[in-house]
Structure 1
Amino acid sequence: MQPTRTQSVLGTPVRVFAVQFHATGCSLRETKEILRILGVERSHQAVWHWVHRLADSGHNPPEAKPKRVAVDETTVKINGEWSWLYAAIDTETKLLLDVELFGRHGTDPAAAFLYRLSEKHDHSDAVFLVDGYGYQTALSRLGLSGRLDYVNRNLIEKWFHTLTMRVDRFHNSLAGSHGNVREWFIQFARYYNFQRPHQALDGRTPVEEVTN
């Protein structure tokens, strides 16, 4: 059996297991403790290096050309203060196109997020499904096509629900710097795209759906 890209980057099953556990919501110290319970003694610093080695490996979603993109934001509490996590998902392939953390919400953050998307993916044929909160103005500003849609956007709501369940299992308020929390969200997005089988895709991951 050929090793997966995660295995080739991290080297051993223990490291792969630790990174996957961290992606599902455990902090680095919680991941270290789980490894200890399983009889594997590793330092907090070692787990940190494994996670960031994967982050530095270019483990990003492939460039996509979606037809319909659901966009939304949700609130997250970091050190007791509220921030906003923006996310976009291809409703056909279920590929999470991007996530980004902002200190506020509204038209300007929405426009900045949509501009990031246009830099990463081909949206020439895409219709953005939005709920109106600053998005319509942002879409017009960038010359992108979109419409209000309160029905077909449920996939992005489901992703936020999955994310919230992971966070709520371990934290009432995420701790750490804004940059560290942002990195955790990016890691979780990679886990969702590359490793988490999707029932609607007959057990394939979103990346497998896009690339096969």
Structure 2
Amino acid sequence: MSSELVELLAHLTPSNKLWQQAKSLFVRNRVAPEAKIFASYLYAQGSSLRRLKELLHDLGVRVSHVGIWKWIQNLGRNLREKLFRRKRWRCLVVDETKIRTKRRWIFVFAAVDPENREIVNLLVTEHRETIDALGFLKRCLNYCNGKPVIVTDGGPWYYWPTRRLGLKHVVMCGGERNYIERWFETFKDRLRAFDCYFPTHGLESIKNFSAVFCFWYNKCRHHMSMKRPPSGGEGRFKTWLEVSS
């Protein structure tokens, strides 16, 4: 790793303790873990794998774009089980969208807290059926103290699951539903770096990528209207190092 990159990372995060925690994420460290953490942060923000490869080459780190992709996947696997936090959510706005992959279309269910714009849960699945909506709402309840009001656009796959789980279901156009629509726009803006489709058909890879993106969105990205990340805190790169905690 070049002295320029070492100096840059030291300026971004002077705490050695944070770096030591971050190093534990990776089993093999032929490339310095600091470079891996830095590259994954830029990738979550929107940089492509090939652009990152060129940037790292300029900074003295020799790695292929496939190698960077493996770093992201490893990071996503570590994040998936500890990505979301349990809290008393008053209301959850739930929706789903369709994403094109290399060989097929998949569906992404998401739930957002309209007060803080925080993503409460996410589900990547092959189908958009009632059973998928039921499974997703159950996942959401695992992170809820109490039963929140569920706001949807009136998709028929939500009616029976909300009744089955004893949840108040409100159908809405506009209003608080705009928050989930904006999140999906942000998510799809990130996917446009992949040209016209997600460059894989494996659900596990997509789940890992989505976990990395959600962590960055909830904890690091400053929301324009709130001037802070949805989860609160300082955000940006220093918070990104919490991926190892």
Q: Which TM-score bucket, shorter chain as reference?
A: 0.7 to 0.9
Q: Which runs of 5+ in 1 are unaligned?
A: none
**CA deviation profile, 1:137-161 (whole Å, cap 9, x unmatched):** 2111121222101121110000000
Q: Quote the residue 2:218 is aligned against.
A: 193
Q: Quote the residue 1:124 is aligned against.
A: 146
Q: Is the 8 A contact 2:93 2:150 kept in 1?
A: yes
Matched residue type, 2:150: F
Measured on the aligned residues, the alpha-carbon RMSD in Å equals 2.6
Matched, 1:20 2:44: no
Matched, 1:205 2:226: no
**Per-residue deviation at 1:88?**
0.5
Q: How does 1:31-70 map to 2 (within 5 A)?
A: 31-44=52-65, 46-48=67-69, 50-55=71-76, 56=78, 59-70=82-93
Q: Quote the residue 1:180 is aligned against.
A: 205
Q: Is the 8 A contact 1:66 1:92 kept in 2?
A: no
Structure 1's 187 and 132: CA in aligned 2 closer, same or farther, altered over 3 A?
same
Match of 2:107 among 81, 84, 109: 84
Match of 1:97 among 120, 125, 150: 120
Fraction of identical pairs, as percent: 28
Structure 1's 51 and 40: CA in aligned 2 closer, same or farther, altered over 3 A?
same
Matched, 1:115 2:138: yes
Q: Which runs of 5+ in 2 are unaligned?
A: 1-13, 24-31, 234-245
SS of corresponding position for 1:71: strand
Structure 1's 46 and 77: CA in aligned 2 closer, same or farther, altered over 3 A?
closer
**CA deviation profile, 1:22-78 (whole Å, cap 9, x unmatched):** 223455455323422454322456534533453316651321211111100000001
Q: How does 1:3-14 map to 2 (within 5 A)?
A: 8-10=21-23, 13-14=34-35
Matched, 1:164 2:188: yes
Matched, 1:148 2:171: yes
Q: Normalising by the residue count of structure 1, what TM-score does the alignment of the two structures yield?
A: 0.84
Q: Quote the residue 2:9 is aligned against.
A: none
**CA deviation profile, 1:77-112 (whole Å, cap 9, x unmatched):** 011411111101111121111111111113221111
Matched residue type, 2:61: V
Matched residue type, 2:122: V
Q: Normalising by the residue count of structure 2, what TM-score does the alignment of the two structures yield?
A: 0.74
**CA deviation profile, 1:111-141 (whole Å, cap 9, x unmatched):** 111111112x125241111111111221111
Matched residue type, 1:22: Y
Which stretch shifts more, 158-167 or 34-43?
34-43
Q: Which has the larger radius of gyration?
A: 2
SS of corresponding position for 1:63: coil
Structure 2 CA distance, aligned partners of 1:8 and 1:207? 21
Structure 1 CA distance, aligned partners of 2:154 and 2:117? 22
SS of corresponding position for 2:124: strand
SS of corresponding position for 1:101: strand
Structure 2 CA distance, aligned partners of 1:15 and 1:7? 13
Q: Is the 8 A contact 2:73 2:208 kept in 1?
A: no
Structure 1 CA distance, aligned partners of 2:17 and 2:232? 12
Q: Quote the residue 2:4 is aligned against.
A: none
Structure 2 CA distance, aligned partners of 1:7 and 1:92? 35
